[in-house]
Amino acid sequence: LPGLQDVLPEFLRGRFVEAALSYVACNSEGELLCRNNDCWCHCSPRFPQCNCPFADIKVMEENLEKSNQAWSSLNHEFMESAGRSSRQTHTLTSVDDEFKAFLKRLPTDRFLNVSIIAKFWSADLVLQKRYTQLESSTSLVLGKAQKIVRKLFTLSKRCPKQPDIHLPRERPVSFWLAKAQSLLYCNEHGVLGFFSEEVRSCVCPMEHPTCQGVIPCIVGTSTSSCSSCATDNVTRCGACHHGNILHLGSCRPSVAPSLDHYLNLDVDIPDVEVKYLLQRLDSRIEVHAIYISNDVRLGSWFNPAWRKRMLLTLKSNKNKSNLIHMLMGISFQICSTKNSTLEPVPAIYVNPFGGSHSESWFMPVNQPEFSNWERTRLDTVATAQCYNWTLSLGSQWKSFFETVHIYLRSRIITDDPTVNETLFYEPLDLDDQTSNLGYMKINTLKVFGYSMHFDPEGIKDLILQLDYPYTQGTQDAAFQMLLEMRDRINRLSPPAPQPLDLFSCLLRHRLKLSAGEVARIKDSLQMFNSKLPNASPEPELAQLCS
C-alpha cells in the first residue's frame, strides 16, 4: 500500500486505504469501521450478514464437538466395564477395568453411603493412579474446549444468532462416588438409574421404571442401625446393638421395664407444698425414726459447754426392709435459758443406706445455692427462749437417708458486724463473767420426707441374671433395669464437688453384698453401657461406702 499511495494523488490516498482495508477485512461485502479500539464491517445491502463468518464458526463448532466427544470417550473408557451389573462375573483384561474391579470389591452385605464408598476409593491405590490419568487427560481436553469457546464468542459477536455452545462439565470425585452408588443399587435389568441417599431409593428412567435393585440394611452405631444384616435377606436387620431389640427386621431401642416392682422413685412433692407442710410440722410427711444419744435427753436441760452428738436412725434392714427413705427436711425445737449469750450451731451428716458414720455426707448448710435454717420464735414458754429450727431441702437437694447424725455446738451471740468468723469454745470459758452461758434443751427432733417401695430380693434376682440369664433378652433387660436404677439413684447425689456413688452404698448395705461383688457389678454395668450406641462417658463418682 505505501507504494501505491505514492503514485496516487493525495486526495485519493485516504479513500484508497479505506477501500483496501474493507476489501481485505470485509471481503468486499461492506465497509470497515473502527471505533474505540473495536472494528467491524458496515455491511452493504447485498450482504447484510457480512459481520458473521459462518464458515469459520462452523469449523469452530465442529472442533468443539470433537473435544466433547474426546472428553466423553475418556470418561467412558474409565467406567465402560462398570456399565454392566456389578453382580455379574467379569475377567479383568485392561487398565480400563479398574473402576469395575473397584465396584466388585465393595461389600454387598450392608448398605454403603457415599462416605463409606469414599473410604474404599481412597484405599484403592490402583484406582487412584487410573483416576489421576483421567483427570490429566480430561483437563487437557477441557482446556482446549475452553479456548475454542472463547474464539466462538469472538467470531459470533455481531452475528444475528449466537452459536449453540456445549462445554464439557467437570466430574469431581463426588460424581464417581455417586455413580458407584447408583451402579450398586440402581442397575437392575441393564438399566442405570440414579440413587438418592436421602430417601434410599432410585430414580429410574421413564421407559424403565424397574431399575432399582436390592438395597441392604444400614449397619452403624446409631440407635436405629443394625449391627449386621440378615444373611437370607440383606434388606432386613439380622442383629442389633446392645440396648436394641430386633423387631420385624428392624432395630428399635429396648426400653427397660418399669422399676416400680423393685424400686419406686417416681414419688415427688412440689417444693411449695413441702415448705408449707414443714412450717406446720405436718405429721403426714414425718418419717418416724429412732432417737439415739448418750449426750442429750429430749426434754431435759443440758450444759452446752461440749459438743453434743445425736442421731435419728430407721434401722431399715431390721424393721423396714421393704422401704427406702427420702429426706426432704429436718426440724428441731430447742430452748435456751433467759438471757443466755449462746446460740446453737448444728452440723448435719446424712448416711444414705446404712453403714458406719464415715459413710455419711456432710450437709453444706449456709453454703451458696444450698438451703439454710429457718428459725421461728415460740412465745409459749415464759422462762426460756425457744425456737423451731427448720431446714427444707426441697426437690433440688432431697436425697436418700437411713441415719441422720446431728452434732450440736454453741457459739457466742454477737452483733458486731466486724466479726467475720464464729469462735467456738469447747469447753466454753466458764471463768468469763461477761457471758451468761446458760443451759439448753431440745424438745423435739424430727426428720421429714417419705418412704418408697423397695424389693431387695427382686434386685438380687436381677443381679443374678447378669451371669445366669434365662435368655439373651432377659440378660439385656436386667442390665438396662440396673443401669436405669443406678443412674436414677446417683442422680440424687447430694451437693458436692464430685457426685457420690450412692448406688454402691445401696448394694453394699441394703442388699448386703460384699465389696468384691459390688465392684464386679459396677464393672459389668460400665462395660454394658459402653457398648450401647451413642454411649456418653460416665461421670467420675466419689466413693462414699467402702
**Is 112 contained in some domain?**
yes
307 vs 379: CA distance, rounded Å: 27
pLDDT in tens, 39-84: 767 777 777 667 777 777 788 888 888 888 888 888 778 776 443 4
Tell me, what's the pLDDT at 349?
95
Counting Cβ atoms within 10 Å, is residue 446 exposed (0-12), middle (13-18) or buried (19+)?
buried
* 73 lies in the same domain as 199: yes
* 294 lies in the same domain as 408: yes
For residue 58, what are the CA distances in angstroms to 28, 43, 348? 21, 21, 99
**Is 430 contained in some domain?**
no
Tell me, what's the pLDDT at 83?
39
**Is 427 contained in some domain?**
no
Last residue of a domain, one of 229, 251, 280: 229
**Is 179 contained in some domain?**
yes
Helices (H), 416-471: 456-467
- Give me the long-range contacts of 126-130 (CB less than 8 A, separation at least 24): 126/98, 126/101, 127/98, 127/99, 127/101, 127/102, 130/78, 130/95, 130/98, 130/99
* 465 lies in the same domain as 398: no
Tell me, what's the pLDDT at 137?
84
* Number of domains into which the chain is organized: 4
Residue 175 has which C-alpha cell? 460424581
**Is 545 contained in some domain?**
no
176 vs 166: CA distance, rounded Å: 21
* 443 lies in the same domain as 490: no
**Is 12 contained in some domain?**
yes
28 vs 24: CA distance, rounded Å: 7
If you ran DSSP here, which 8-state letter would residue 159 be given? -
* 70 lies in the same domain as 203: yes
Query: Which residues of the chain are under the pLDDT cut of 50?
Result: 81-96, 420-423
Last residue of a domain, one of 162, 196, 229: 229
Helices (H), 280-348: 316-319
Q: What angle do CA 452, 454, 459 make, to 5 degrees?
A: 150
Residue 44 has which C-alpha cell? 452493504
* 31 lies in the same domain as 158: no
* 468 lies in the same domain as 493: yes
* 224 lies in the same domain as 133: yes
Tell me, what's the pLDDT at 94?
40
167 with 145: CB under 8 angstroms? yes
Residue numbers of the domain that contains 482: 456-530
**Is 89 contained in some domain?**
no
Q: In 389-410, which positions are buried (b, 16+ CB within 10 angstroms) versus exposed (e)? A: bbbbbbeebbbbbbbbbbebbb
* 281 lies in the same domain as 407: yes
331 vs 350: CA distance, rounded Å: 14
Looking up residue 298, the CATH number of its domain turns out to be: 2.60.120
Q: What is the pTM of this model?
A: 0.61
* 208 lies in the same domain as 104: yes
* 305 lies in the same domain as 209: no
Last residue of a domain, one of 203, 229, 255: 229
55 vs 45: CA distance, rounded Å: 20
Tell me, what's the pLDDT at 518?
94
Phi, psi of 447 (to 5 degrees): -120, 145
If you ran DSSP here, which 8-state letter would residue 262 be given? T
Tell me, what's the pLDDT at 91?
34
**Is 153 contained in some domain?**
yes
138 vs 168: CA distance, rounded Å: 9
* 70 lies in the same domain as 204: yes
